[in-house]
Amino acid sequence: MSAIIHWSLLFLGLILLGFSISLYLKTKKMLAKGVYGSAVVIENKLVRSTDEKGTSMMYQPVMEIKAGEKTYPFSPNFRSNPPQYKVGEKVPVIYEASEPQSARIVSYWGLHLGSIILMLFALPMLTIGTGYVLFKYGII
């Protein structure tokens, strides 16, 4: 039974590592070929969420990106309290020329958070799974 668990950890770790590398390469490509611009914060939308601990109120920025003659709405997928940006503030963004709604905020966390989280889950699984396989077959 433990062999199944360890092999599963190794396999799942490899899959997560692959997704992490894929996401990193996609970000790297966007940085090389994307269009740099700025988004203007037009609103900090109040978002309420309720769970068993109570109600929490967070602010999600709503921005506008001007690409050519058109203006596109953009709302990053994060919330904070207090609001991270002030209304009227310009925020650096990068997006694909054909799809301004694909924008991402140009910051370390705005660009690499997804690949870092996947890597944080993949590495312990790979360590445990690889250690078991190496031990089982007498390599270490």
Tokens found for residue 127:
């360590």
* Domain, as residue range, for 69: 2-136
Tokens found for residue 52:
């068993």
Spatial CA neighbour of 79 closest among 95, 57, 108? 57
pTM of the model: 0.76
Tokens found for residue 125:
């699984």
Spatial CA neighbour of 104 closest among 115, 48, 20? 115
Domain count, the chain: 1
Per-residue confidence in pLDDT tens, the chain, 140 aa: 777 888 889 999 999 999 999 999 999 999 999 889 889 999 999 888 887 777 888 999 999 988 778 888 888 888 888 888 999 999 999 988 888 878 889 888 889 999 999 999 999 999 998 888 888 877 77
Put residue 46 in one of left, alpha, beta given phi > 0 → left and psi -120 to 50 → alpha.
Answer: beta
Spatial CA neighbour of 95 closest among 33, 21, 40, 42? 33
| Coil vs helix vs strand at 45 | strand
What's the pLDDT tens digit per position in 105-136?
988 888 999 999 999 999 999 999 888 888 88
